[in-house]
Every structure is written in structure tokens, then in C-alpha cells.
Structure 1
Amino acid sequence: MKSPARVLLAGVAVVATVGALAGCNAGGGDESSGKVELRVATFPPGADAAAYEAFAAQEKQFEEENPDIDIIGVEYEWEGPTFAVQLAGGSLPDVFTVPFTDAKTLLENGQLMDVTAEMDELGYTDSFNPIILDAVTGADGKLYGFPRQAYANALSYNRELFEAAGLDPDSPPETWAEVQEYAKQITDATGKAGYSQMAINNTGGWQLTVGTVARGGRTQIDNEDGSAESTIDNPATKGVLEFLHALKWEDGSFGSKVDLDWGMINQEFAAGNIGMYTTGSDIYTALVRDFGLDPDVYGMTVIPLEGDEPGTLGGGDIAVMSPTIDDETKAAGVKWIDWYYMQKLLNEDAAVLDAQTLNESGQAVGTPVLPVLSRELYEESLIWIQDFINVPLEQMAPFRERIWDQTPVGEAKKKTQEVYALLDTVVQTVLTDENADIDALLKQAQTDAQALLDS
């Protein structure tokens, strides 16, 4: 296997609602058919019909190869504030995904299935970037999940709104000052929000951290002994909040909606109501599949960097199973994860079959991500599937051509989601109170975050 390249290790606070697409047992054999029923995560509620057509085709392909397994799709979308309740209540699918940031907490709580032997038997344990593999490695050295995807945060923008404001959509902003300038031009010309940002359900803290890292700051220092120091109160974080304050209260280019999370901001962007926002580079797939985005209006570039030691906060997720499922269901789950998630990263035939199936159903193929294996293998896989790539790569060129020059930064490892939730309040205060005392907010947030880290 080729040597691993640098990849991003982080996570992302997005969303967790779960609803079965078909009635089924909590896992195990179906006595009437002699098959193992396996409940697997599919898409968020609201995904288009074509997505399910593609999934149905893939389900059929898998079941033809594994006639003893009956796949049952379950609607699924991870959401930080409610995920723990879903997991504790046993309402999650047998196979689901979680962001890297949630994995360590789940490991500490004993809520993930040990898959060390299975991954070793499949023969690709050593193929993963060691930093990525750390996200699923417990204190006992065992592996508790399959890293399946990584990505960088990026700046998404609406090319149509750029043109309406007299801006060149092929020359997106390269500095935060330009982002602010472009945002005001868009609002002045169209009445739409020139720039918007997530603010609730842990996503406000997530994107505040993205902006901090891009400006050379860090919100937490993780120590080797497992302790952590909160460093929220720093000039870079203050710079992000001052930027948001200026957009909202000075320029009027932020827009009226200040209570957006991952799903809501995607919906607003797809509807043409937002000029620019930051989120993961893999967002194009969800925008088209789940929110009805017109591909012609989409543009993506790298996040502007400034200050000393700036970086790009990354994201990613892992495919996992609950330790409460039985051995038969676990074995079926491993087969599904290997077939549905992993082989298309490793094997040309599997990659081509996956890309062809998605393409024929009108699903996005070729959305920019970052490799969980090696950059070399990732770029080779793009050659394998080049005949089926259907995303507007030229509209993503500013990102694709520059992302490898940016320094990847992983998210903090301790109390990540809890700290994000705390920072949501800071972002909301700045966006709802013109006289918000940013210095006082940061000082209090750092104190509160340290208390969380010390608890």
C-alpha cells in the first residue's frame, strides 16, 4: 500500500434524527426467511427519490452477493444535542455513522462495537492514515469503527448572486476582508444575506472554531496526559466575532436569520437566500440530494487564512455499530460496511460500480473530499471513476487547486461537542445583541469551557 498522505482528523457537529423506512426488529435473524435483518443508516429525512433509487440498486447488488442478509434502510441524520438519547434508547440503526469528535466519548462510555479482529481479517487496518485510525482506537488499543470519509471546511458561494452583484464567480474572495466586502455587495444588489453562519445545535461553536483556526488561533490545547486547557479567549476568536458583528450590525449583510443549524443553513443556501457560508467540502452532495440545489449556481473555494499558524479545520466520520447487537448481526454489519463504505476507497471494480450506480440515478459523483487512506490512492480512485463524475468540478476549482496548500488542523479531542454547545450561546449573543461585550463573552466562555474540561 502506498504511504499515507496528510489527511484531516476532525469532526463536525451536524444533526441526529432517526426514522425507520420499514418496520423491522432490532437486529438478528428473520425466522420466516432465515435471513439476518440488518438495519443500516441511509439519508436524512427529505432526501430526493433518486437517492433512494440509487440505494435500492446498491441494496440489491449487496443482497445478491450476500443472500443470507436482508438490508433494511433507516433514515438517519446525526445531531449533537439528541444523539446520546437516541443511542441510549436503542433507536439507532445497527450500522450508523458518527463524526470523529463523538467517537472518543462513545469509546469512553463503552458504546461502540469492537471490530479489531474483523478489520484485521479484511486486511486493510494498516492502510489507514494513523492519525485517522486514532479516532477509532480505544485506550485498550482496540479498534471500534471504520473511518470512511474526511473533508476540509470550505467557503461555499452562490455564483448567481455573485453575478447579480457584479462579482466574478470564478474569482471568489481570498481574504476575510474581501468576504465582508463581497457580502455587502451581494446584499446591496439583491437583498439576500451576503454571508451567513450556523449558530445553534453545536454548529455555532463548530463554525466559530473553524473561523478561529483560519485566523491562526486555537480554542483548546490537548495535553499528552489527557487533560486540556481552554484557550477560547484569544485574538483570533475575537476576530471572528467582530467579523460577524460587523456583518450583522454595521453592513446589514448577515441577514435576519440568526438561528440556523446545519440543515437550515443548507436549505436557505439551496433556496438562493445566502451568498456565502462555511461548511464541509463534501456539502455539495447533500445540497443537491437533500435540499434541491441547482448545480449551476454552486461555487466552492478554500477558507481564507490569515495570522500566525493558520489552518483549515477538518471533519470526517466513521461507520460504527452498537455493542448491544448479537454476533450474527455484527458479522452482517461488517460485511455491509466493507462493501458499502470501504471497498470503493480501495478497489477499482467496487469504485466503478458505486460511481456508475450513483450516476445512473442522478446522484453526485466526485464531490471533493479528503482521503482517509492516502492522497495517492484517493487521486487514483478519481481516475477509476472519471467517466462517471458529474459534479461541476470547474466551479469547485478554487478549492480543489488550493486545498493541498493549506495546513490541516484536527478538532480538539476533549469535550468537543459540549464546548461547541457552550460557544453557540456566544455566537447567538453577538448576532442578537448589537451591544454585546465580546471581551466579556470570551472571558466567561473560557472559564465555563475549562470547568467542562476539568469535570
Structure 2
Amino acid sequence: MKRLSRRHVLAAGSIGATAALAGTAACSDPGADGADAGELDPSADVTISIGDQPTEDKPDQRAAFDERIGEFEAAYDNITVEPSTEMWEAQTFQAKLAGGTLPTVMGVSLTYSYELIENGQLPDMTPYLEELDLVADLNPLALDNVKDADGSIYSIPTGLFSVGIAYNRAIFEQAGLDPDTPPATWDDVRAFAKQIKENVPDVTPYAQLTTNNTGGWMLTTMTYSNGGRVQDDAGAEAVMGQETIDALQVLHDMRWTDDTMGREFLYDQEALRQAFAGGTIGMALQAPDCYFTVVKDYGFDPASYGQGQLPQGGAGNNGTLTGGTLKLFDAKATANQLLAAARWVKFYDFEKYYDEAVALADAESAAADNSPVGLPGLPPVSQDVYDRYLTWIEPHINVPLEQFAGYTASTLQLIAEPPAATQQTYAALDPVVQQILTDEGADIAQAVADANTAVQAIIDQAAR
């Protein structure tokens, strides 16, 4: 088993580990002998399956995805691609991983990196990435989170994010708030929500994610904003304290004292974004990719979208949660399949960063399809490579960047997700948030104490 150093490298830390994964079964391609079987032959005929194909209810995105597959197969006539609509879902991932039903490559949360490597559930991708000359220009902070202690690379980070606050600029204006000034503190959030309630009574001033692990995810984020942690840096101890109590107290007071959280308290990511796009939510904790979803998928007016940094509590300037996406490769795939899958990732996710013509074509196509171009975020490539890319696509950037100024100007510390059994930790915290929002008399301190006990049991189980 490969062991990882517990270096915490993404500002305050490395991207954390995920839920403990039962069993050692790998992903897909039943019958494959694994990457150690056979010599690597880049020209050999090979078939791979790739996940994340848009579903049929998104015909434009699906057509664009399929077109890229055609271009890829034309460029590499020895590779046959079988697309799959399989996408990562926290609630089903472990079972599908153990059942061997996942594609050769697909995107999953970066929180899975450490646990999968430690469990021997990822192939060593170092030789394939070196073969494709893909290592040197990747974002080094992200790359360190998919390595073991020996420096071997097991995945490819393709996206990074940090959590901020999304807000509806039109609702701000209706409420008499400055749409160019997002809330900087949790006191601001409460005050802004009260003003929205008073002046725009038919909307929910502030909404909170609470289900499908997102409640724990955002409670962790709020804990960070107050200067606390959910686990210690080693992922050995649950350490929620006053900072988590304070986070829950804010939610309790907004729900029960201020009445500024509406009547819906069972939001997952999709449901909240749909409601936001419908113009019924004033503010919610989100990363900037929320803009893509609400504008592209749900028709939200770009002029009404605003993004600020994560509101801070306590003394302020405490930090925000960061995470991302990685490409999961099938540990049972052959060497030729792994090389082909890595080649697909380089083609689909990274080619635009290295080829100006591809960057321009991609930007032009996205703009023509009314997809966001130039959305702010943390790049998967080095800053020099990313800056060059932005100069290439500048004529086609259609995202109102000035409406993200409160986010892009942030200097908050980026804090990694809890390093042990991340998704299980989040799942254990979902009901804590739900309890506070549905039981006015809930004992917050006791709820946090009970949560520490539950998370500690999860940590201990993951360490066995």
C-alpha cells in the first residue's frame, strides 16, 4: 500500500481525503488484467470508456461533448471511445467503485484522492503523464494532492475552487443594497438578509445547503470562516468547538429570530441552484461555478449574478474552504488503456491551455453557445500557462468579471477539506444543520458535541 505524507500544501493544506472506501475492487473494464499487464504500446488499438457525457436533457452540451469525441478519435485513430453519462454522486460512488461499474476515466471530487491512493484503488499514472509531457505545467499545488510520499502521481486535478457567496444583484438593488458590495462578515449577511426581507418579501433572503453531504460541507466552510476546524491537520481527531457553535448559532438566529431563511430547509446543490436561478434566493454559499449552472442550464440573467468572498466571523480574515475535481482512472485498466485515457484528459481538459488555436476555437464555440467564457476560478495549470491562456481568449470573455470582484480580490487563506473520511464526515454533519433549522429549541452546544463523537467514530473506522 502506498502511504502518503500528510503535507498540507494548498495554502493551509492539501485537499483532504474522502470517505473510507470499503473493499479493494477497482473501477471498471471487467476482465482487464491491470496496468502491469503487457508492455505499453502507444500505437496499439484500444477501447476506453469515458464518463461525464451530458445527459439527453442537455442536447447542446451533449452534442458538443460528442463532437469532441469525434475530433479525438480522428486525431488518434487507434483509440475507440465509448462515452458514458456516469457522473460522480457522493451517495452512490462507493458502491459503484466496489462493483466495478465505473468508466475507464471520469471526474470525481478531489476529496477522494488520499483514501483511494492509500487503499490501492488508483493506478500509478506517472509514466503515462510523463509520456504525454503533462506534468511540468500542471498547477503544482493541485498536483501535490494526487501524489504519494514517494512523489508518484495517481490522478489528474482538472478543477479547483474556493467557496464564496453568490448573491442576486437585482434583489440587492430592490432591497436598497449596493450590488457591488457583497457581505464581508456574517453580521453583514444577517443585516443584508433582514433588509431583503423588509423590501423584497416574496424571496428567501438567505438559503443554506443541507442535504446529500452539502450541509456538512457548508458547515465545515462556515467553521473555517470563524477560524475553526472540523478535524485536526492529521485527520486523527474531530475538533469542532466554539467556531462551529457560532456558525450554527448564526443559522439558528437567521431562521428563528430573523425569519430570513424562507421555508425550505432541504436543499442540495442542484435544488438550491435551480431556486437561485428562479430569482427566489437572495444569497447562498457557492463557488463561482454556480454562475455556469444558473446561467447556462437554467437561463439566469448574467447581469443579476454577483459573487463575493466567503463572509468571515470572529476576528475576520480566517479563510475559506477549497477543493476540486480529479480524473479517476480505472486501476484494472491495461497500460494502453491508461495511456489512452490520459491522452483523452489532456485533449479534452488541457489542450486549450497549450494551443492558441484550440483555445480560440473553444472560446468562440462556447461564446456562440452562450456558455460562460473566462469564469473566475483556481486554474488546473500553472499561473504562467493560465495567464497566457487568458490573453488568448480575452476577446471572447463574456463573463461580467466586475461582478466577481469581491471574490477575485480576496486574499483569504485557502483551507483544505477535512483530511479523513471527508464525505462521510460531511454526511454525519448534514442532520446537525437540518436539526438547527427545524428545531427552534435545539441545544447547539450538545449538537456539536454529539457531532464530534460521530465524526471521531468515522475517523477511527477509516484508520482501521
With structure 2 as the length reference, what TM-score do the two structures score?
A: 0.86
Q: Which runs of 5+ in 1 are unaligned?
A: 14-23, 29-33
Distance in 2 (CA, whole Å) between partners of 1:271 and 1:26 is 44
SS in 2 for 1:409: strand
Which residue number in structure 1 is paired with residue 217 of structure 2?
A: 206
Please list the CA deviations of residues 197-221 of structure 1 after superposition, one character each: whole Å capped at 9, or x if unmatched. Answer: 1111111111001111111111111
Measure the CA separation in 1 of the matches of 2:201 and 2:321.
Answer: 31
Q: Which moved more, 1:377-386 or 1:341-350?
A: 341-350
What is the CA-CA distance between 1:80 and the residue it aligns to? Answer: 1.4
- Determine if contact 2:17/2:418 at 8 Å carries over to the other structure: no
2:260 is matched with which residue: 232, 253, 264?
253
SS at match of 1:368: coil
Shift of 1:6: 6.0
Which of 405, 424, 431 does residue 430 from structure 2 map onto?
424
What CA distance in whole angstroms lies between the structure 2 residues aligned with 1:290 and 1:370?
Answer: 22
Question: What residue in structure 1 maps to residue 52 of structure 2?
Answer: 42
> For 2:263 and 2:54, how far apart are their aligned partners in 1?
26
Residue equivalent to 1:164? 174
Which residue matches 1:190? 201
Aligned letter for 1:267?
Q
Q: Which amino acid aligns with 1:329?
A: Q
> 1:140, CA displacement in angstroms?
5.5
Q: Give the drift of 1:364.
A: 1.6
Deviations 1:241-295 (A, max 9, x none): 0111111111111111111111111111111121111122222122233333332
Checking the alignment, whether the CA contact within 8 Å between 1:53 and 1:361 is kept in structure 2 is: no
Please state how far the C-alpha of 1:340 moved relative to its aligned partner: 0.9
Question: In the TM superposition, what are the counterparts of 1:37-76 in structure 2 within 5 Å?
Answer: 37-42=47-52, 45=55, 48-76=58-86
Q: Structure 2 residue aligned with 1:378, among 363, 379, 386?
A: 386
CA deviation profile, 1:4-33 (whole Å, cap 9, x unmatched): 9969854799xxxxxxxxxx98799xxxxx
Q: How does 1:71-82 map to 2 (within 5 A)?
A: 71-82=81-92
- Structure 1 Cα separation of the partners of residues 438 and 54 of structure 2: 30
Q: 2:148 aligns with which of 114, 138, 141?
A: 138
SS at match of 1:239: helix
Mark the CA change 1:108 to 1:290 in structure 2 (over 3 Å): closer, same or farther.
Answer: farther
Q: Percent identity?
A: 37
Please state if 1:362 is matched with 2:363: no
Paired residue type of 1:421: A
Q: Does the C-alpha gap of structure 1 residues 362 and 35 become closer, same or farther in structure 2, counting only changes over 3 Å?
A: farther
Corresponding residue for residue 276 of structure 1: 283
| Match of residue 37 from structure 2 | none
Give, in whole Å, the separation in 1 of the partners of 2:118 and 2:29: 28
Specify whether residues 137 and 25 from structure 1 end up closer, same or farther in structure 2 by C-alpha distance, changes over 3 A only.
Answer: closer
Amino acid at match of 1:276: M
For residue 46 of structure 1, report the CA deviation from its aligned partner: 7.2
Q: 1:37 to 1:123 in 2, by over 3 A?
A: closer
| Alpha-carbon distance between aligned partners in 2 of 1:129 and 1:307, rounded to the nearest angstrom | 32
- Residues 1:106 and 2:113 are matched in the alignment: no
Change over 3 Å in CA distance of 1:288–1:162 after alignment to 2? same
Mapping for residues 299-310 of structure 1, pairs under 5 Å: 299-308=306-315, 310=318
Q: 8 Å contact 1:54–1:357 — kept in the other structure?
A: no
Contact kept, 8 Å, 2:54 with 2:62, in 1: the verdict is no
SS of residue paired to 2:146: coil
**For 1:346 and 1:242, how far apart are their aligned partners in 2?**
48
Do the aligned partners of 2:12 and 2:413 also contact (CA within 8 Å) in 1?
A: no
The structural deviation recorded for 1:69 is: 2.5
1:313 aligns with 2:324: no
How many Å separate the matches in 2 of 1:380 and 1:11? 30
What is the distance in 2 between the residues matched to 1:124 and 1:197? 39
State whether residues 8 and 150 of structure 1, in contact with CA within 8 Å, keep that contact through their aligned partners in structure 2. no
Question: Structure 1 184/390 Cα, relative in aligned 2: closer, same or farther at 3 Å?
Answer: same
Q: In the TM superposition, what is the alpha-carbon distance from 1:358 to its structure 2 partner?
A: 2.2
Separation in 1 of the partners of 2:325 and 2:267? 22
Could you give the per-residue CA deviations for residues 349-369 of structure 1, whole angstroms, max 9, x where no partner exists?
443333233223322211111
CA-to-aligned-CA distance 1:327-356 (integer Å, 9 cap, x gap)? 333222111011111233344344333323
Written as runs of structure 1 = structure 2, the 5 A alignment for 1:19-34 is: none
Unaligned runs of 5+ in 2: 1-8, 19-27, 33-43
Is contact 1:27–1:39 with CA below 8 Å preserved after alignment? no
| 1:432 to partner: Cα distance | 0.9
Give CA-to-partner distance per residue, 1:77-120, whole Å, 9 cap, x none.
32212111122223322210112211112222222222110112
Amino acid at match of 1:212: T
Per-residue CA shift, 1:124-148, capped at 9, x if unaligned?
A: 4243444422321135542111111
Say which SS state the counterpart of residue 194 (structure 1) adopts: strand
Confirm whether residue 441 of structure 1 aligns to residue 451 of structure 2.
no
What amino acid is aligned across from residue 391 of structure 2 in structure 1?
I
TM-score computed with the length of structure 1 as normaliser: 0.87
Q: Is the 8 A contact 2:255 2:437 kept in 1?
A: yes
SS, match of residue 128 in structure 2: helix
Match of 1:87 among 97, 100, 108: 97
- 1:265 aligns with 272
Q: 1:12 and 1:230, CA in 2 relative to 1: closer, same or farther beyond 3 A?
A: closer
Q: Aligned partners of 1:161 and 1:422: how far apart in 2?
A: 34
The structure 2 residue matched to 1:342, chosen from 334, 337, 350, is 350
Separation (CA, whole Å) in 2 of partners of 1:249 and 1:11: 34
Report if aligned partners of 1:59, 1:71 keep a CA contact under 8 Å in 2. yes
Count residues with an aligned counterpart. Answer: 431
For the structure 1 residues 341 and 7, does the alpha-carbon distance in structure 2 shift closer, same or farther, using more than 3 Å as the test?
Answer: farther
209-218 vs 44-53, which moves further? 44-53
The structure-2 alpha-carbon separation of the partners of 1:27 and 1:127, relative to structure 1 and needing over 3 Å to count, comes to farther
Q: Which has the higher strand share?
A: 1
Shift of the 221–66 alpha-carbon distance from structure 1 to 2, 3 Å rule, reads same
Question: Could you tell me how far apart the structure 2 residues matched to 1:216 and 1:240 are?
Answer: 11
